[in-house]
C-alpha cells in the first residue's frame, strides 16, 4: 500500500481485507538465524544428557533449538496452540 504522492487527495479506494491467521504468505520465524536459508538442527539422540529434553517448535525460544517456555506467551498473545517436541531417553 502506498499513498499516492500526486493527484487528488479525494478519491474512493478499494477495501483491503487483512487476514492475519498465519496462513499462506506469512512466515512463522520472526528472528531466529535469519542469515540461514533454512534452519535445520540435528540431535544425536545417544548424546542426550537428560531423561527429558524439550525442543522448540514455536520459533520464539531464547534458547532455540531448545524450548524455554516462550510458546506459552506466544499462545496467549495469539490464540495459537503450539508446543515443543519432547525427547525422552526412555
CB of 85 to a copy of itself, least distance (A): 5
d(CA 65, CA 68) in angstroms, rounded, equals 9
Nearer to ligand FES by Cβ, of 14 and 65: the residue is 65
**55 touches 67 (CB < 8 A):** yes
Is residue 83 a contact point for ligand FES (CB under 6 A)?
A: yes
| Partner interacting with residue 6 (select from ligand FES, a copy of itself, none; CB below 5-8 Å by kind) | none
Residue tagged 487528488 (cell numbers): 8
Cα 40 to Cα 31: distance, rounded to the nearest angstrom: 15
What is the nearest approach in angstroms of a copy of itself to the Cβ of residue 65? 6
Q: Is 65 in the site for ligand FES (CB under 6 A)?
A: no
Amino acid at each position: 500500500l502506498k499513498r499516492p504522492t500526486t493527484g487528488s487527495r479525494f478519491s474512493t479506494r478499494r477495501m483491503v481485507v487483512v487476514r492475519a491467521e498465519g496462513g499462506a504468505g506469512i512466515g512463522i520465524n520472526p528472528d531466529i538465524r535469519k542469515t540461514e536459508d533454512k534452519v535445520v538442527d540435528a540431535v544425536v539422540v545417544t548424546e542426550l544428557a537428560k531423561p527429558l529434553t524439550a525442543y522448540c517448535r514455536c520459533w520464539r525460544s531464547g534458547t532455540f533449538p531448545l524450548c524455554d517456555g516462550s510458546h506459552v506467551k506466544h499462545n496467549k498473545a495469539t490464540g495459537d496452540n503450539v508446543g515443543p517436541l519432547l525427547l525422552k531417553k526412555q
